[in-house]
Amino acid sequence: MAAASPGVVLAPGLVHHPGYLDAAARDRLWTELARAMDEAPPYTPRMPRTGRPFSVRMTNCGALGWVSDEVGYRYQAHHPETGRPWPAMPSLALRAWADLSGYHAEPEACLVNLYGPAARMGLHQDRDEEALDAPVVSLSLGATALFRYGGLRRGDPTRSVRLRSGDALVIGGVSRLIHHGVDRLLPAVVDLLGEAGDATIPAVMADRLPAGGRCNLTLRRVRVPMRSGHA
């Protein structure tokens, strides 16, 4: 696991940490995720009101999990299909939060998005949390994603950056509520620096994520932490 670095500031509060997870850490995280998915199988969320299925599959780890269905967006303590509590967060995800978030309380939710080669995520804001002073910490595994980010208004100008396997991204500060999404996944081709990235899907995940797919973890603090000395 690479030592935390200042990273590349894409916008105030939006910081990209290329190669944060080295090859050994990526392998370990894949294994931890596969174990978590044995307890909380990936499922297909649905859009509020319309019931339209997302193009990504999801699961969660931690005390709370983010879910979406016809009723709306929300956090809850149990899997929407099995009714079981979410499994514990991977230890490497917790380490990333400690390294990168700069926040004084632990994350409560780790949303796991599974992208097939044709999946995408439209521009949206992460605003279902009470603790909006806490950043979102994102970890990428698998295929490279073209990540698009804009401003606080949907119509603000946007830019894009490639998120490769092992990259971390912190969305916080004045950028905490920016619109962002994933335009598409990119094929594993060698870039100008001679790096193709590690887009291999390991055998432990082969039945959950197709070749050419991507896994993204987003760690979030949901509730405002209790202050010391207060009940």
- At residue 135, the 3 state secondary structure works out as coil
Token reading at 28: 């370990």
pTM for the predicted model, two decimal places: 0.93
User: Quick one: pLDDT at residue 69?
Assistant: 97
Alpha-carbon span 42 to 120, nearest angstrom: 17
* Pairwise CA distance, residues 179 & 148, whole Å: 8
The two structure tokens encoding residue 34 = 């596969």
Distance CA 59, CA 37 (A): 7
Assess contact for 205 and 33: CB atoms under 8 A. yes
- Residue (of 204, 220, 212) closest to 184 by Cα position: 212
94/87 Cα distance (integer angstroms): 13
Residue type present at position 134 = A
What's the burial of 158, exposed, middle or buried (CB within 10 Å: 0-12/13-18/19+)? middle
- Burial letters 4-16, b for 16+ CB under 10 A, else e: eeebeebeebbbb
In the chain, alpha helices (H): 23-39, 91-100
Q: What pLDDT score does 228 carry?
A: 57
CA 129/CA 221 separation, integer angstroms: 7
Structural fold of domain 8-220:
Jelly Rolls (2.60.120)
pLDDT digits over 56-87, tens only? 999 999 999 999 999 999 999 999 999 999 99
Cβ atoms of 217 and 225 closer than 8 Å: no
- Per-position pLDDT tens, the chain of length 231: 655 678 999 999 999 999 999 999 999 999 999 999 999 999 999 999 999 999 999 999 999 999 999 999 999 999 999 999 999 999 999 999 999 999 999 999 999 999 999 999 999 999 999 999 999 999 999 999 999 999 999 999 999 999 999 999 999 999 999 999 999 999 876 455 444 457 889 999 999 999 999 999 999 999 999 875 544
Give one word for 139, left, alpha or beta, with left for phi > 0 and alpha for psi -120 to 50: beta
- Taking the domains of the chain in order of start, what are their residue ranges? 8-220
